[in-house]
Structure 1
Amino acid sequence: MAETVSPVTRQVTKEDQETWTPSIDIRIEDVEDCLLYDRHGVSIPFKKLYQDRKSVIIFVRNFLCYSCKEYVEDLSKIPREALEDADIRLVVIGQSAYTHIESFCSLTGYPYDMYVDPARCIYQKLGMKREETFTDSAHPSPHVKSGLLMGQMKSIWRAMTSPLFDLQGDLHQQGGAIIAGPGSRVHFAHFDTNRLDHMPINWLLQLAGVQQTLDFSDKPNIIHV
């Protein structure tokens, strides 16, 4: 049986940041007109997310992925006032049909903006990876609490019990994170190499200008630094 991964409670330090995957250069202009869909099926161009303010944009693998679910559960713990004080928008993008957004938000408790890119237009044009690559030096996500075996069992069970049985996205597609705006300026980009290669949330927030650090060990207590 795969070893269960205990919750990681340490904060990301400057040393951690320096050894993580370096920022990827991207041309966000190439995808600004790609269409996203909200939970009602209403479309907007991608550029609408970051034109008027800085945005932290998270791309997830698929809505059945256990590691994406647990990562978004931690995103849901970010206090709204922390984002508002820094004038930052938080957005999650999946690649399923828009009909799955409502249930995924309900499942994870995620209260912020969520859209889908069912054609994977942005994923493909920006060059986000398909298939997974694992290396000995890879940094596991500090937000994934389930071990591989248990996590996969949870994903299969959710697929079997879903009233809309489908894979909710390309199972081979990997995600990533972008900090962009206002305008077409990209401050940071990271493309995941596998399901555990998420950017630590505290680091993303700090890069975006949030002056607070969150503790994800139990509940979102704020530690002023």
Structure 2
Amino acid sequence: MQGGKMAELVSPITRQVSTEKWKAGTPTVDINLKDVEDCLIYDRRGVSFPFKSLYQDSKSVIIFVRNFLCYSCKEYVDDLSKVPRKALEEAGIRLVVIGQSTHQHIEPFCLLTGYSHEIYVDPKRSIYLKLGMKREETFTDSALPSPHVKSGLFMGQIKSIWRAMTSPAFDFQGDLHQQGGAIIAGPGSHVHFCHFDMNRLDHMPITWLLQLAGVQQSLDFSPKPKIIHV
């Protein structure tokens, strides 16, 4: 109960980040999807699919998160859950989240965040490792803070520890040191954009990712989200 009251007293911290600032401060990386196209991912029922099935026939925005207990990933996916399905359908875009836990943690994470788009896991971190995503964190001037993370470090870690303690399966739901990233790919193996996070706050702004993928709507992630038609 005390943890819940403490969480209620924390005011959201909203950071407005321009596309130009993010472009200037965030390097992209080159990857070859041929190296990972046959790696298996798993849905919430434990059914496996080759990774290439996500982008073979359509353009996909694929978000790799650190672990399902990570407070910054949870808050990032909180905002991903607000992306309108209609906006994705009109653009012919798939929105996919990939974690690195076992598949049993998918359903509780979706219930917690309200996320209803596609989500899978890579429990052996095969894709993370083969693509060269970072392990451990690096904080530099070029690693800009995520505009989607509202909690401070201390309160965020308290929330993560509490969720671990109250989870039916007490584990860390993935490698705590693994960093994530974002890829826009398809149709086929063509990669339109790729960014690997340098630390837990180095997320790409969701609005920019969607616009880069061809979505014609922009989201306002202020405390009272609304759709802005452009």
TM-score of the two chains, using structure 1 as the length reference: 0.95
Q: Tell me, yes or no, if the aligned pair for 1:17 and 1:203 is still in contact at 8 Å.
A: no
- 1:177-225 per-residue CA deviation (whole Å, 9 max, x = no partner) reads 0000001110000000000000000110011001111001124311112
Q: What's the counterpart of residue 86 of structure 1?
A: 91
In 1, Cα distance between the equivalents of 2:150 and 2:69? Answer: 16
Alignment size in residue pairs: 221
Structure 2 equivalent of residue 116 of structure 1: 121
Give the Å deviation of 1:17: 3.6
CA contact (8 A) 2:217 2:228 kept: yes
Q: Per the alignment, in what secondary structure is the counterpart of residue 84 of structure 1? A: helix
* 1:140-179 equivalences in 2 (<5 Å): 140-179=145-184
- Is 1:34–2:39 an aligned residue pair? yes
Q: What letter corresponds to residue 169 of structure 1 in structure 2? A: G
Cα distance between partner residues in 1 of 2:64 and 2:55 = 15
Quote the RMSD (CA, aligned, Å): 1.3
The one of 8, 13, 32 equivalent to 2:14 is 8
What TM-score results when the alignment is normalised by the length of structure 2?
0.93
Q: Percent identity?
A: 76
Does the aligned pair in 2 maintain the 1:66–1:154 contact within 8 Å?
Answer: yes
Instruction: Give unpaired runs (5+ residues) of structure 2.
Output: 1-9
Could you list the runs of 5+ residues in structure 1 that have no partner in the other structure? none
Q: 1:14 to 1:62 in 2, by over 3 A?
A: closer
1:22 CA drift (Å): 2.4
Q: Which residue of 1 aligns with 2:201?
A: 196
Q: Can you list the C-alpha shifts for 1:7-62, whole angstroms capped at 9, x where unaligned?
A: 3263x434224313122110011000000000000000000000010000000000
Tell me the amino acid that sits aligned with residue 141 of structure 1. Answer: S
Q: Given that residues 9 and 217 in structure 1 are in contact (C-alpha distance below 8 angstroms), is that contact kept between their aligned partners in structure 2?
A: no
